[in-house]
A and B are shown apart, each in its own frame.
Chain A
């Protein structure tokens, strides 16, 4: 008991989180800015992202057409690029968030069940995980979208259901480690049922590892949504998505470089900030990978 008294009391949770994340604050700021803009899109977007102005087509950044100012220029039908990018942030983050949620829940539950029950359940779940992992995710997504049809909802479903195996692997491995601990035997001895053991004892112990995977996957999901929309298999027009704006901009590279450049820059900055934050969290939570 005296050992406990000698160490300083743990800092409040909020300041501890801040201390952990302080080295990556510029990237938190970038991510926060994108999230805020996405959340407040109708308030911060200067114009309606879908209103066309055929007189103001393909105008370069900083042009004013009939007293309408286009900070980042206009696209091929005269829509304000800045407003489309702002609403595009909404699509991008929403799809990524929802698909990460779907795959986290699915993968974590399956992984915990496999690690908890072992035996035949374990073999079936983990073999199935291997199979889904062996098909490149983008191809699995493409073939499923080819069947279900494109659109925001289907993209979330497809991404959620193709990306769960990574969570299942991590949850499974971590559950096995927790199962070997003494407190599990003590809890079972005291009459805790399967549901209580999984929910109260396993889940809190594996949550950290799962969250790290989810952070790193979040950036990938942003890229996947943009990639699918770039190929015409994701969000459908006129709904703005960074990937589909980029794909249109490809046709105007010689005459209107801004259409392809700015959505790419947004994607790059968002994914970069997520990757840096995710890496940092992994280093902090997993001492083995620390520098």
Chain B
């Protein structure tokens, strides 16, 4: 177990270093990053001054090492527009994104899991086909369109929900549904496949032959064994929710990290954009690590494979 953990930790560290390197060099894709950070029509003196201030006049390698050292101190730099540390701005927005992502996860698991189980139990029936089309619709709806339709229906026409912004727990419902729909579809499909695979196994026939009720077999035996693929998919899906927040937050004027990223691009506040991308990559790497560890706890075969 210890060797497996160590190997995965080293892999994650390499992935983090690689991500930082990638994000650093993307910044230099256009040649001169100073130009990204100034409003159009800045004078040549302005450009020179900022270039020197941010250290872009130094050799690339020096800048890179300096950037690594800075990140190692958990220093994300300064916002170019607001002149305050990026970390402070992100910290003030993060709770909103977590709140939204949490709501979306509840929607996704709360609907996706039962739908997936039901589809597997009623395989080949009309109910399964109906649920499958429900899942396909959830999968194919662009979030910005479903968000707009939800606003149009519940806020503009019926007037029962706030259309945008944060105003109590009620205001998270519509954005959470819009954001959670795609994840719901994924959960439902993975659950269906996993449960179906388990249903075909001998222990299910044995349990049924012993006279156990179908519901009992599903609840006590099948779901436990089907949990393994769900753990892996959860890690990926939570990372996807954070990324999907970029669009949903823009639609609902939700003051989270996604909206901040879009606003910062418009304001040419590059350090903020960079930090948000890094943060979400870290979260996704960390979630994958956690999923792998959980996975190996549930299924010892993976651990053994890693040790050889």
Spell out A's residues near B (CB within 8 Å): 127-128, 130-132, 134-140, 142-149, 219, 223, 226-227, 230-233, 243, 246-247, 249-250, 253-254, 257, 260-261, 263-265, 267-268, 271-272, 275-276, 289, 291
Contact = CB atoms under 8 A, between A and B. Distances in A.
Interface string B216-251: 000000000000000000000001101110110011
Interface in B234-288: 239-240, 242-244, 246-247, 250-251, 261-262, 265-266, 270, 273-274, 276-277, 280-281, 284-285, 288
B18 A127 contact: yes
A3 B90 CA distance: 69
Nearest to B266: A232
Contacts of B242: 136
Given A142-B246, A146-B265, A289 B274 contact: no
In order of increasing CB-CB distance, the 6 nearest A-B pairs are A264-B145, A136-B243, A131-B18, A272-B140, A135-B281, A271-B140
Interface of B: 11, 14-15, 18-19, 22-23, 26-27, 29-30, 33, 36, 123, 136-137, 139-145, 148-149, 151-152, 156, 193, 196, 239-240, 242-244, 246-247, 250-251, 261-262, 265-266, 270, 273-274, 276-277, 280-281, 284-285, 288
Contacts of A261: 149, 152
Given A131-B22, A250-B251, A289-B193, A144 B29 contact: yes
Contact of B149 (A144, A223, A264): A264
B265 A233 contact: yes
Contacts of B247: 138, 227, 230-231
B137 A272 contact: yes
A257 B22 contact: no
A246 B144 contact: yes
B145 A267 contact: yes
A267 B149 CA distance: 14
A138 B262 contact: no
Given A231-B246, A253-B148, A144 B26 contact: yes
Contacts of A233: 265
B243 A139 contact: yes
A139 B240 CA distance: 10
A253 B156 contact: yes
20 contacts: A131-B15, A134-B15, A135-B281, A136-B240, A137-B243, A139-B243, A142-B273, A146-B273, A148-B30, A226-B142, A227-B144, A230-B144, A231-B247, A232-B266, A233-B265, A247-B144, A253-B156, A260-B148, A268-B140, A291-B196
A223 B142 contact: yes
A268 B140 CA distance: 6
Contacts of A130: 11, 15, 18
B280 A135 contact: yes
Most buried by B among A246, A249, A289: A246
A272 B27 CA distance: 36
A232 B263 CA distance: 11
A257 B251 CA distance: 15
A246 B265 contact: no
Contacts of A276: 136
B280 A147 contact: no
A139 B142 contact: no
Contact of A147 (B15, B36, B193, B261): B36
Contact of B36 (A127, A138, A146): A146
B276 A139 contact: yes
A135 B277 contact: yes
B29 A147 contact: yes
B19 A131 contact: yes
A264 B140 contact: no
Contacts of B288: 134
Contacts of A268: 140-142, 145
A221 B259 CA distance: 22
Most buried by B among A149, A233, A291: A291
Nearest to B189: A279
A272 B138 CA distance: 10
Contacts of B285: 134
Given A139-B243, A142-B261, A267-B145, 17 more contacts: A130-B11, A134-B285, A142-B246, A143-B23, A143-B273, A147-B30, A227-B144, A231-B250, A246-B144, A246-B145, A247-B144, A254-B156, A260-B145, A264-B145, A272-B137, A275-B136, A291-B123
A231 B262 contact: yes
A217 to B, nearest CB: 14
B265 A142 contact: yes
A24 to B, nearest CB: 12
Contact of B19 (A134, A257, A275): A134
Contacts of B137: 272
Contacts of B26: 143-144, 147
Nearest to B250: A231
